[in-house]
Structure 1
């Protein structure tokens, strides 16, 4: 007697692989400030679904929040990684090549598990027991066309991330100038009456000599003033070693760092240790092995011959195999000084504008090299607080957001409440 073969759903209809997501997935953006709660979207949607004006059969719901004093619409956001797809026990939900998530009615059993898995509760169980979900009318949503107040907008997001085309040339130019043309100038540079100095190096020099030189204080303050007005933009756009790490990070795989190395206060301890050691030794202790300074002094025969200083590069570059910008996140004392200035700076990055798609996208969190955008907050629809002391103002989040949900604001400008819903 032949052996029986047991087949599971994974054998019959296996989950699709991750594959490459489309660059500009379609979605509907809802503006609550324009919505009057008229219900037109429900009526036109139900007309398409069941050929009758029956809002209870619509795949979109318009609700009123008395607590917030406005209306909001529940509809499918066609997530980058939809949770409803793996949740469906019969694999009735699929994401097409056009980025639209659809339910196959021939396979759906109406169990409603997809509605439980969806953070937005977008799949809706109608009175006849059918699960209905917005499919964007196959790319021509009727609700958008019929909304009298223009509260719904069909979009594929912006097509050009222009900030990267500014950041990369600026980084290349800064690297060329600081490393190859004005070699060693990050540590100290003087041209006539204009002088610049590394603020961490200045603190070490002050501790070692016990002498406060006014010109040194002014020259070291230039970066601090820049940070007060533009955040840690030096780290994101100008620092030559940051550019080096960005290049390395595109090549090496990521394996994660052990927990004891993942402390954002470590860099302050290194800064304090560098200043204290400088005071004890009477010289700038950390400057000898500073990766930024060593890189700026590496060009030319004298730099190449200085093997002790250059030996720090592979050590720090190896940290990049742990996490993106590991050195900048946890260990850089120069970043620690700038972080203190950024805490009281005048600009901030805000994520949580009305256009933010929260859990359906989260690309801002994926591209952030400092790992400071809280995915858990986005999953809950909460505007994450961005610690500007840790933000390097690379603006990758703004560049990556297709819907304008990430913005630069002055610190005193009103934004989405930190604990409130987006």
Structure 2
């Protein structure tokens, strides 16, 4: 009887400790696993201190901060130096001169030493003091690639807004199909804690280079092994209430060129290896159900095969003709889908010194396009793509460059490269 009582007390103590760790303010001290927090900051003078304070107050204390000043033009650096003069933090400060969010993260990663990587935008704060503890516990316990966290909106005067937990994630084809039916829009989130080895490979290539959802691996057309955190990890600011469930079928002039291009890239990768019958009908029905917050009930219909781009690309881009997004780049992708010819061949030569663009560099490409200052190669190449060319012959030394160019134009999986 005494043994049972002791066991009962031990069980109660363990349960109590778990509850305190989740909801309380318990100091956990140093742990073996380090978290590297990458903070890209652009004109963040009004928010950076609060973001740093939310890290400093974490109960889990084995972390480092790599803060990248992404060409800020306000007093971000002045305020940061003043703050660090009074507060000692394990922080590495880096400056870059070319403003690009993804480039800032890639640059900061070079200085990270942690086994877990987390990107914290400078205008967001950790939800409470136990976010790091719960993240480490989940990733180590689940033995997963990463862990999603929920977010909570903060409206005027930092009042707590609506909870926005990430929808349950499943690593299967259904998640891919629903992403495709949402016209390539990310149905989950990019806010997650990642194992370093995964962040430096799949997340780096697919998200930081090509702009697709961080959880998606285009190489095998499958999601990563990501755990559902099932707790709120971030607060973010908005100037007014926003609809957190976006409808991808609304007019595209509310989107950016980056969103459209990355949505197309994600969509094209997915449907290149999955056949979605009656795509336009399914997409319309799915997005209607999604707006009613019952997307989990949608019975996705698909099979092995490939979906014709003629069925999907014009649907995504149908409103660009009379919008500010109308440009040669997007029109080239649409023309390729309409003129797709499985027999059409072209010999390609990439001149030395030609800038090879990544998906996350679409804004730089677009600016040069509007100023007519791109390398001549791109003007010639867009004509070739627009003709529906699907077979490309190139010297073996330039094959990798051509693969990235075709990835940039979102059609890599729909063409064949012959190197010699």
Query: What is the TM-score with the length of structure 2 in the denominator?
Result: 0.23
Larger RCO, structure (CA 8 Å, separation 6 or more): 1
The structure in which a higher percent of residues are strand is: 2
Query: What is the TM-score with the length of structure 1 in the denominator?
Result: 0.23
